Structure 1
Amino acid sequence: MSLLPQLYLLDGSSYIYRAYYGVRDRATAGGIPTNAIFGFTRMLLGLLQEQRPDFLAVVFDPPRAETFRRELYPAYKANREDMPAELAMQIPTIKQMLQALNIPALEAPGFEADDLIATLARRYAAEGVQVTVVTGDKDLMQIVGERITLLDTMKSVLSGPLEVLERFGVPPELVADVLGLSGDTSDNIPGVPGIGEKTAADLVQRFGSMERVLKWKDQVKGKKRRENLRAFEEQARLSKTLATVRYDVPFALSLAELQRQKPNLATLLPLLHELEFETLAVAFTPAEAGLVEIYTDGSGRDSGPGGYGVILRYADFEKELSGFEAVATSQRMELLAAIRGLEALNSPKRVRLFSDSQYLVRGMSEWLVGWIRDGRLETPDALANQDLWQQLVPLSRTHQIDWQWVRGHAGHPFNERCDKLAKRAVEEGLRLANEPVEPREQEPLQPVAVAAVVPRPVPIEDYSEFGVDEDGQQRLC
């Protein structure tokens, strides 16, 4: 993990279009489209939670007709359709959302977002900051370098110099040379007819730059290719200029102005409710005073690995936990997630524990009384996962716990985060599976004072996906 300050620059246009096309048919009860706003905010929330940047800004394009490239070449991006009206009407609210989140929205008149991103990235990287540009735009690969990387959150791909070389066949500093020869149909940059991206990369590799390709064009193989290089030499030079990002955008901005700040909840929460983004409002709503919120999730199967994820929230503090088991059932990982979350508390607390596992929630709030009454909790092999239930009992006695069920995979922000933590724990566990691991000594189980256990009844909606008898043991395990 880098110890350098972390600056994230988001390509606003890339983010917005991905949000718009990634989330469809979403509108308020009054019929106002909100799909782009929702997708943008959800992706931004995911970035904040997973990457935790120290500094952050979203960079936008000015109107297309008002950039220097359009003055140089009026046909630049002229092939693109106008922004859909349904998306255009959502842009002001997206910027309003950024304002409520206290995230700077930047724009430089006359320059595209790529130019401002490149200028700021180079400026702050030179000052020792690790810069990550969040975009899906291949053109920005030319700015990759020391302390500057690209992150495509949709594909979970981080691009450094090696990835640029694999994508274009040349290092970052020569990407614009390749585009100058091949052109770029998405931006309506003409290039040289008959020269595609692969051929352009081969030529730049061989001669060292686009200028040297033009200088030594008589040595290029193929009569028609040589003729086109002669006939379209100036067009190639113009194309490279259009494809090259600028690092000299006049934009006065201190790094301190990009410092990550807490959202303005007085503005943000009413806006989220107005837009009917109730699940997103949950993510930003602080935990109740004096209450610890614990969100848990686990996954596994009899014949494979399992993982769990836990998020603890208390006042302004938040903590993530995760773990891996080489072979584990889903039920065991759900129970283990709750155990690890409660074990993280260093003193008795008032707790609200959320899980999408009815097995866990109903077990602790309903079935436990019967197990204790019948002696099944203590009788060896009387219950499936008995060792874990026995660990949960003293923990439930230590804290005042409300067990809450949430529907899994239904857009709940903390449930989705726990699910991701569990899956990543499995991936990391499998990656390290062949490395020697010191066995951990198991602590002996402590006697359970059953009389002190008072489960709290929790109303559960009837979304059960399995048949059970009265205490949940017959077909659950």
Structure 2
Amino acid sequence: MNLSPQLYLLDGSSYIYRAYYGIRDLATSGGLPTNAVFGFTKMLLGLLQENRPDYLAVVFDRPREETFRREIYPEYKANRDAVPEDLASQIPYIRRILEALNIPALEAPGFEADDVIATLSRRYAAEGMEVTVVTGDKDLMQIVGDGIGLLDTMKDKRSGPRDVLERFGVPPERVPDVLGLAGDTSDNIPGVPGIGEKTAAELVNRFGSLERVLEWKNLVSGKKRRENLQSHEDQARLSKTLATVRYDVPLEVSLAALRRRTPNLPEVISLLRELEFGALEIAFTPPAPGVVEIYSDGSGRASGPGGYGVVLRYGEHEKELSGFEAASTSQRMELLAAIRGLEALTNPSTVRLFSDSQYLVRGMSEWIHGWIRDGRLETPDTLANQDLWQQLLALSGEHEITWNWVRGHAGHPFNERCDKLAKRAADEGMRETEERLRKADRPGSTAKEEKLIPSPVAPREDSEFDADEDGQLRLC
């Protein structure tokens, strides 16, 4: 377990454009475009829920005309279109969302977001922080190193030094050398004609750096390539400068200013209502006083593997549960998810349980009375999943429960979150099971035969659920 404080720096421009192009044709009843605001807020909410950083900031670009790179090379990013009008109108709302959530928005005159991110990453990694840069921008791979990693939330992929080596063929600190030689069409960085990333990586690995390549260009194979290195030497050096992030941005921001703070909920709710984001409003609205909300979902094929995901909410506290079964029907996983959520309650409680499974919700609110009356709940082999229904009935007798159905995969934040937990648990469980099988099947293995049978993975608790002030409810 990593006990270092966690600092997340989010590349705001990258997030905004991903949201804008990922969701289209969304607007308020009054015609205000909201697709970028909705996507940005939803992705940010997911990031906060899944990673729970101790410190967080969103970093924005200044207009490219105001950066030092544009001063030394006027064509820098000149190939990019202007910000679409329907996106420009949403950016003030994104900033209002961040303000209501008490999340700092940072930028620095004369510099790009990458420079601010690089400066803060190096500064706080040196102080023992574990820094995660949330971006899909390959340029930031050059800052990866001790205490600094990247997270691409769209691909659910974290990148460390080995990933940089696989992507560019060089270690992180040599990425600017590769880009200096190969150029970068997305930023309109020219590089050296006739040299692509693969060749650039080979040259940098052979000679050590862009400067050394230029120094020993007569040893480079290919007459045309040598001629291009000779005639475009200054352009190569300029390109490396353009591609290299700065670590010396004069930004005065304290670590304390980046600490996660409680959102201004009245302001958040008011803004979400103004934007007509009913689904997101649910995510920020705490349960009624004294009520525990349980969201549950199961994921699996007809005969397994299966996973379950559960989110419990009480006041401002939350807890996540997830687990795996190698052989289980999808219906059993839906029931098991609800069971695991209820088992987490150690005191009688008033519960609102939500699921997208009508099988579960109707079973517990309608059908179970008939099963009891007809004796099917107790008579062996007369009811599918009889053992789980019996467990649910016993657990429901300990609490005051209302069973609520929510439409699955319809943008409900907690249903989607549970679904993701369930699928991730199933994937991880199968990987662990397959690894056990491989180890047991190796020549000379002393594993007993019964160990070849896949066994369920213990539930994983991803976050602590504190007791309320009077200690009456302790979900742990």
TM-score computed with the length of structure 2 as normaliser: 0.91
Work out the CA distance in 2 between the residues paired with 1:410 and 1:86.
Answer: 25
Q: Counterparts of 2:389 and 2:328 in 1: how far apart (Å)?
A: 15
Provide the secondary structure at the position in 1 that maps to 2:187.
coil
Q: Deviations over 1:268-324 (max 9, x none)?
A: 001001101110000010111000000111122333211111111011111111111
Shift of 1:376: 1.4
**Pairing of 1:255-334 with structure 2 (within 5 A):** 255-334=255-334
2:194 alignment partner AA: G
User: 2:14 is matched by which residue type in structure 1?
Assistant: S
Partner of 1:57: 57
Contact 1:5–1:130 (Cα < 8 Å) also in 2: yes
1:361 maps to a residue whose letter is V
Please tell me the residue identity of whatever aligns with 1:99.
E
Separation of aligned partners in 1, 2:113 and 2:91: 16
Distance 1:331 1:156 in 2: 27
Partner of 1:225: 225
Aligned to 2:414: 414
Match of 1:216 in 2: 216
Secondary structure, in 3 states, of the residue corresponding to 1:186? helix
Q: Distance in 2 between matches of 1:158 and 1:301?
A: 28
Given that residues 300 and 328 in structure 1 are in contact (C-alpha distance below 8 angstroms), is that contact kept between their aligned partners in structure 2? yes
C-alpha offsets along residues 39-66 of structure 1, whole Å, 9 cap, x if unaligned?
0000000100111111000000011100
* Secondary structure class of the residue paired with 1:321: strand
Q: Which digits, 9 at most, give the CA deviation of each residue in 1:113-145, with x for residues without a partner? A: 000000000000000000000111111111111
RMSD: 1.2
State the match for 2:376 in structure 1: 376
CA distance in 2, matches of 1:301, 1:10: 36
Distance verdict in 2 for CA 1:185–1:439, change over 3 Å? closer
1:439 deviates by 7.4
Distance 1:143 1:366, change over 3 A: same
Which stretch shifts more, 249-258 or 428-437? Answer: 428-437
- Structure 1 segment 22-61 matched on structure 2, within 5 A: 22-61=22-61
Contact residue 16 and residue 36 of structure 1 kept, 8 A = yes
Give how far 1:368 is off: 1.2
CA distance in 2 between counterparts of 1:184 and 1:152 reads 20
Distance in 2 separating the partners of 1:300 and 1:69: 51
Q: CA offsets, 1:70-106, max 9 Å, x none?
A: 1101111111111111111110110000001110000
Task: Kindly indicate whether residue 71 of structure 2 is the aligned counterpart of residue 71 of structure 1.
Answer: yes
Q: CA deviation at 1:156?
A: 1.2
Alignment of 1:304-453 (within 5 A): 304-434=304-434, 435=436, 436=451
Give 2:71's aligned amino acid: E
Aligned to 1:95: 95
User: Quick one: which amino acid aligns to residue 125 of structure 1?
Assistant: A
The residue number in structure 2 matching 1:85 is: 85
Q: Which amino acid aligns with 2:389?
A: W
For 1:98-247, what aligned pairs fall within 5 Å after superposition?
A: 98-247=98-247
Q: Distance in 1 between matches of 2:455 and 2:227?
A: 70
Deviations 1:157-206 (A, max 9, x none): 11111111111111011110111111111111111111111111111111
Is the 2:286–2:316 contact (alpha carbons within 8 Å) kept by the matching residues of 1?
Answer: yes
1: CA distance between counterparts of 2:253 and 2:85?
32
* Kept after mapping to 2: 8 A contact 1:302/1:327: no
Aligned-partner Cα distance in 1 for 2:307–2:180: 48
Deviation at 1:331, TM superposition (A): 1.3
CA distance in 1, matches of 2:132, 2:241: 24
SS for the counterpart of 1:432 is: helix
Q: Is contact 1:300–1:333 with CA below 8 Å preserved after alignment?
A: yes
List per-residue Cα deviations over 1:439-467 (Å, max 9, x = no partner). 79xxxxxxxxxxxxxxxxxxxxxxxxxxx
Task: Specify the code of the residue in structure 1 equivalent to 2:187.
Answer: D
Distance in 2 between the 1:375 and 1:223 partners? 89
Per-residue CA deviations over 1:241-284 (Å, capped at 9, x if unaligned) read 11100000001111111001111101000100110111000001
Q: Distance in 2 between matches of 1:311 and 1:99?
A: 26
Q: Structure 1-normalised TM-score?
A: 0.91
SS of alignment partner, residue 433 of structure 2? coil
Q: Give a deviation string over 1:416-441, Cα, whole Å, max 9, x none.
A: 0110111111111111214359979x
Distance in 2, matches of 1:335 and 1:145, equals: 44
SS in 2 for 1:398: coil
Hey, what does 2:446 align to over in structure 1?
none
Which deviates more, 231-240 or 293-302? 293-302
Deviates more, 1:344-353 or 1:188-197: 188-197
Query: Do 2:304 and 2:330's aligned partners in 1 also have CA atoms closer than 8 Å?
Result: no
**Structure 2 matches for 1:2-41, cutoff 5 A?**
2-41=2-41
Q: Partner of 2:473 in structure 1?
A: none
Alpha-carbon offset, residue 225 of structure 1: 1.0
Q: Equivalent residue of 2:185, what SS?
A: coil
Q: For 1:153, give the aligned amino acid.
A: T
Aligned partner letter, 2:432: L
Q: Is the 8 A contact 1:311 1:320 kept in 2?
A: yes
Say if 1:182 and 1:192, in contact at 8 Å, map to a contact too. yes
**AA aligned opposite 1:356:** D
Q: Which runs of 5+ in 2 are unaligned?
A: 437-450, 457-476
Instruction: Indicate if the aligned counterparts of 1:301 and 1:327 stay in contact, CA closer than 8 A.
Output: no
Single out whichever of 366-375 and 288-297 deviates more from structure 2.
Answer: 366-375
Across the two proteins, how many residue pairs are aligned to each other?
A: 440
How far apart, in 1, do the equivalents of 2:221 and 2:454 lie? 61
Runs of 4+ in 1 over 6 A off after TM superposition: 437-440
Contact 1:300–1:327 under 8 Å retained in 2: no
* Identity %, equivalent residues: 76
- Tell me how far apart the structure 2 counterparts of residues 269 and 134 of structure 1 sit (CA, whole Å): 26
